[in-house]
A = this chain, B = another copy of it.
Amino acid sequence: MSDRPSVWAPLVECVELFVGGERHLMDRDERGWWTAAIDLAPGTDYGFVLDDGSPIPGPRSPWQPDGVNGLSRTLHHEAFDWTDAGFTAPALADAVIYEMHVGTFTPDGTFDSAIDRLADLADLGITHLELMPVAEFSGDRGWGYDGVHLYAPHHAYGGPDALKRLVDAAHGRGLAVLLDVVYNHLGPEGNHLRSYGPYFTSKYATPWGDAVNFDDAGSHEVRRFVVENALMWMRDYHFDGLRLDAVHAIFDQSAVHILEEMAIATRELAAEVGRRLVLTAESDLNDPRLTRPIEEGGYGLDAVWADDVHHALHVALTGEEAGYYADFSDADALARAISDPFMYAGHYSAVRDRLHGRPPGDLPGDHFVVALQNHDQVGNRALGDRLAHLVSPGRVRIGAALLLTMPYVPLILAGAEWAASSPFRYFTGHASLELARAVSEGRREEFSGFGWEPADVPDPQNPDTFEVSKLNWSERRREPYAGVLSWYRDLLALRAATPALRDADRSAVEVTHDAEEGWILVRRGPISMAANLGAEPVTVQVDGVRRLAWPPELQTDAGRVHLPPDAVIVLERPG
């Protein structure tokens, strides 16, 4: 929003600026942009009146202090006093990403209260924070994927200045910050974009209805709206990169795909501001094109989430094989996943009932973000139960050791580092009673399909569902949490100290395993880790000096280690 308010509304007959209780006529140019002949000071509340309707918030509102349907408030990004000059994010090959939901990260659930925990994260060995979406969504609580004001940090988290304080403080601690952004759909409540112009198209169907219009009439302005939004977070809020939500639901047949356009614009901004900026994406496509360089016909993103690796890990650790996990029940799946991010690379997937994916070729490991669990895999369980609530302490540690010795970029969901007792449930705070009821009922119905009694499925709209999902930071000082936290800290320290563990060359990883006995041995340079996921004790040949072990009393003996079920050892060969 420049001083002189302007707005794109190509199909509207008359647009007026609403400010201070008055309407001001706006002038339309030939491209469908309307401009008011009036300057607005920072902090001024405004809206637009379309064709004599009621005032509604602006498409690029930078701040919605009163929620999704309130007036917008102007903002001068230049006014913030940044203290992070000189900070540059580490490369993804060296990154350990920490995914957090602002609302449940601390008791207060605000940007400012999150600042108090940055020291803990730096101490743990985290390099990158990743905030789940913060763009204004309906209500005071929610995961954030229902955002409708893509330019406005959520009012309940503290709004624009508080977000800047968080990013600035993170940089002060040496932590980079990524932001999760949603360009595949808008939330069901407070979406005023439809009134302004052709932001959506019926050419493609998404799980949330009409797709965002990236290639139909008017798409040039929609693309600009989205690309400039991406750039705004990195330029005006100093984010070090983005995580693009569900890009498989972004449909674009243009000769320049919107993801490629975004990658080019990001590259240009990085050159301009002299910082490292990255684009990562959630993708269900198993398509190497997303991160292949533009010069080689790719879209030029920096990394994609590789959920296949999660699925293989999850099945190996939990034995669960329901739903989409059925595709990963093969005994060799885990061993393959350690160096192959796409388990489905042109193969038939029974769950999808079609061929899926394409081999990643020589794309390096730092093009893939991998987690033991992210918000989806926890939150999309009926009770939001974490991995640590499903398996033994040994298997929690095996999972962490596997994750942090894989050649990928590891992502840790906030709380996983101490096996937090809090679940991470699906919660919403929609104001519309009709929508609220639909969400509550939909959730119950979804899980009744998996044999759940309706009464046992937490109601997303119930404030308690949000409250119980908050992390309890005090528990991490006592057992069994403190032990898990040490395990993570030690693994991350080892990773930081060992270049071979940050080597993105996937072919440098050696995996040996015995599917029948259930043990697996992973070697990367001087580091090796052996774990027993089977039901019986096993003896595995290893070399090197014990660095970490669970149970702690494990010892090697003449190049062998005896591993009880759920045991794991990490060794280092002297250099």
Contact = CB atoms under 8 A, between A and B. Distances in A.
Contact of A296 (B215, B297, B356): B297
Contacts of A292: 297
A356 B248 CA distance: 22
A414 to B, nearest CB: 31
Interface string A343-370: 0011010001111111000000000000
Interface stretch (A145-153, A252-260, A306-314): A252-260
Interface string A233-261: 00000000000000010010111100000
A206 to B, nearest CB: 9
B204 A354 contact: no
Contacts of A220: 348, 353-355
A320 to B, nearest CB: 23
A223 interface: yes
Contacts of A205: 202-205
Interface in A29-54: none
B217 A358 contact: no
Given A223-B355, A354-B217, A253 B285 contact: yes
A280 interface: no
B297 A255 contact: no
Contacts of A204: 203-205, 251
Interface residues of A, number: 36
Contacts of A254: 285, 287, 355-356
Contacts of A544: none
Interface in A181-233: 202-205, 215-220, 223
A255 B357 contact: yes
Contacts of A248: 253
A288 interface: yes
Nearest to A283: B255
Nearest to A286: B255
A298 interface: yes
A256 B354 contact: no
A255 B219 contact: no
A289 interface: yes
A251 B288 CA distance: 19
A191 to B, nearest CB: 21
A223 B348 CA distance: 13
A353 to B, nearest CB: 4
A567 B542 CA distance: 87
A218 B286 contact: no
Nearest to A203: B205
Contacts of A356: 254-255
A250 to B, nearest CB: 10
Contacts of A223: 355
18 contacts: A204-B204, A204-B205, A215-B354, A216-B354, A217-B352, A218-B353, A218-B354, A219-B355, A251-B253, A254-B287, A254-B355, A255-B285, A255-B287, A255-B289, A255-B356, A256-B358, A289-B297, A297-B297
Task: Give 6 closest A-B pairs by Cβ, nearest first.
Answer: A297-B297, A255-B358, A255-B287, A217-B353, A219-B354, A220-B355
